[in-house]
Amino acid sequence: AKITFHHTSGHTDVIDAPPGTSLMRAAVTQGVPGIIGECGGQAMCATCHVYVREAYLDALPPIGEDEDEMLDCTAADRDDTRSRLGCQIQVGDGLDEIEVDLPNSQV
């Protein structure tokens, strides 16, 4: 699946990740800066915060309870519609492509 990360600098990283991989894991594994993933993907750190581009929002599963709580603890402001935790977004299975904007800070 194709994942596009738009950095605040204007730089863009485009990577390919196998189905079943979380957006956080894909970024960390492939060296995309701007995503930390401190808790390892358990929705407990909020250092994998991303703003999902509108075109892809409908393809995502609803925000889980833990995710919702952590999204209130992000370093950068939460966006009501676009903020998600990268570790809770899995590519593949109906999500072959996604584009996200990175926040200016994760800590």
The residues binding ligand FES (CB under 6 A) are: 24, 37-39, 41, 43-48, 70, 85-87
Phi/psi-derived region of residue 72, left when phi > 0, alpha when psi is between -120 and 50, beta in every other case: alpha
CB of 50 to ligand FES, least distance (A): 10
Q: Which is nearer to ligand FES, 1 or 48 (CB)?
A: 48
Q: Which is nearer to ligand FES, 44 or 59 (CB)?
A: 44
- Cα–Cα distance measured from residue 40 to residue 24, given in angstroms and rounded to the nearest whole number: 9
Residue type at position 1 = A
DSSP annotation of 105 reads: -
CB of 72 to ligand FES, least distance (A): 12
Measured at CB, which residue is nearest to ligand FES?
A: 87
